[in-house]
Structure 1
């Protein structure tokens, strides 16, 4: 197996949401907990924002208008704290991406998100971390539609079967595989590092850390939106195999080795006398030019 590019999800891998801004806004405006989730992420206009039909500002203003209509004008005071919260960046996965790029492997992001995505990258100071980014609002199609993955591959100028994709949502793994990509469900930074190592992609040793926060239960609205998106986009009853879902936990120990087992055609394992292992530092991967997606 030859991998020429990494395509990764953003939220759940590089960025985590605790929804502290939404809860602070609700307390300020005297709204019941979970109100912003319902009015923002469970409303159909959120999907329109993810597809670029509405801008991020249009969507936020619509949320404010509906809150004010139902709870009175003071409900608008909840918007500022909610909008100020841009999530928290995970330094462990940031390091993983940087290590892959340092060995010449392009790293790109495919995320179901709004037109605010590039501004969020700048806010967190990670704009230059990725070779390309593909927000669904710019693509005009979102995961798990295979077309979203094919468009990302087209802009990367890499064949889908030479791209490794990882996401924390199982149904998006199905979409990536239907597009022809090698896909693995993300469960932890250590699991991702182990899988990259097994593919012959250099990655730093990663140990489980409390610094990687779980996704908050408050994001139930966004989970429900994903389910609606998946129903609209996936014309299949298939689901990722249990072997794929658990592969990260099975291979975690491999992330702590300085050498990696040969799992693809670039190794010399088939040669007489070969040990079947290669020094990670000796791997040379094809580099592609850095670019950005334009509308």
Structure 2
């Protein structure tokens, strides 16, 4: 017996709807004499990242901790802070094809949620990228206090969408998030890029 047709879509932000140009971070690293990839390496250390994704610390506190960790590499706290601030000014770019799917799905009667592990800067990012009002719900890990791939995260997302898990299609570019969604009873698509657009539209069948 096949699964029920999806009546709601939960789409990840970073890596699906928002893309990051790696040349930006690389340019900052070159300008400040940093080793390649060190900004992301420090920022994404789980012990540093987890608290900001669950709302225990603010985005500003997280950025400050990245600068603190970078201080020795650049020789002074002022230079470290300047490098991190310059890196953080870039807020990514919207994938217009994915946004078209979101808009078409909503026009076709499908509820759409943004499901993301994010910081308290998310609302500002959505405004800066022109995405305010593009979703029926926004499920931000830092606001609900739990992050993907926890079952509780997906339960909260389904409640926000007012849709049972079996009727929600989740799209994410990370295998661990997809596995978590499936374990919580959602359908899930591992996003690999534009080649998945046709499948996504067919799966929604709006």
Q: Could you state the TM-score of these two structures normalised by the residue count of structure 1?
A: 0.64
Contact kept, 8 Å, 1:29 with 1:77, in 2: the verdict is: no
Indicate the RMSD between aligned Cα atoms, in angstroms: 1.7
1:137-216 maps to which residues of 2 (within 5 A)? 137-197=142-202, 199=203, 201-202=205-206
Q: Which structure 2 residue ranges, 5 or more long, are not aligned? A: none
Query: What's the offset of the Cα at 1:64?
Result: 1.2
1:232 is matched with which residue? none
Greater Rg over alpha carbons, structure:
1
Contact kept, 8 Å, 1:30 with 1:75, in 2: the verdict is: no
CA distance in 1, matches of 2:119, 2:7: 27
2:10 is matched with which residue? 7
- SS in structure 2 at match of 1:110: strand
1:156-212 Cα distance to aligned partner (Å, 9 max, x none) = 211111111111112211111111111121223342332431x3523xxxxxxxxxx
1:40 is matched with which residue? 43
CA distance in 1, matches of 2:41, 2:188: 31
2:70 is matched with which residue? 67
2:105 is matched with which residue? 100
- SS in structure 2 at match of 1:184: strand
1:129-182 Cα distance to aligned partner (Å, 9 max, x none) = 111111111121111111110111112211111111111112211111111111
Contact kept, 8 Å, 2:32 with 2:74, in 1: the verdict is: no
CA distance in 2, matches of 1:69, 1:134: 37
Q: Which structure 1 residue ranges, 5 or more long, are not aligned? A: 203-295
- SS in structure 2 at match of 1:129: coil
CA distance in 2, matches of 1:69, 1:140: 32
1:254-273 maps to which residues of 2 (within 5 A)? none
Query: What's the offset of the Cα at 1:54?
Result: 1.1
Question: Whose relative contact order is higher, 1 or 2, with alpha carbons under 8 Å and at least 6 apart?
Answer: 2
CA distance in 2, matches of 1:123, 1:3: 30
Q: Could you state the TM-score of these two structures normalised by the residue count of structure 2?
A: 0.90
Contact kept, 8 Å, 2:105 with 2:204, in 1: the verdict is: no
Aligned match for 1:79, one of 80, 84, 101: 84
Judging changes above 3 Å, is the alpha-carbon distance between structure 1 residues 77 and 106 closer, same or farther for their aligned structure 2 residues?
same
Alignment length, in residue pairs? 201
CA distance in 2, matches of 1:186, 1:51: 24
CA distance in 2, matches of 1:43, 1:157: 31
Contact kept, 8 Å, 1:40 with 1:63, in 2: the verdict is: yes
Contact kept, 8 Å, 2:55 with 2:143, in 1: the verdict is: yes
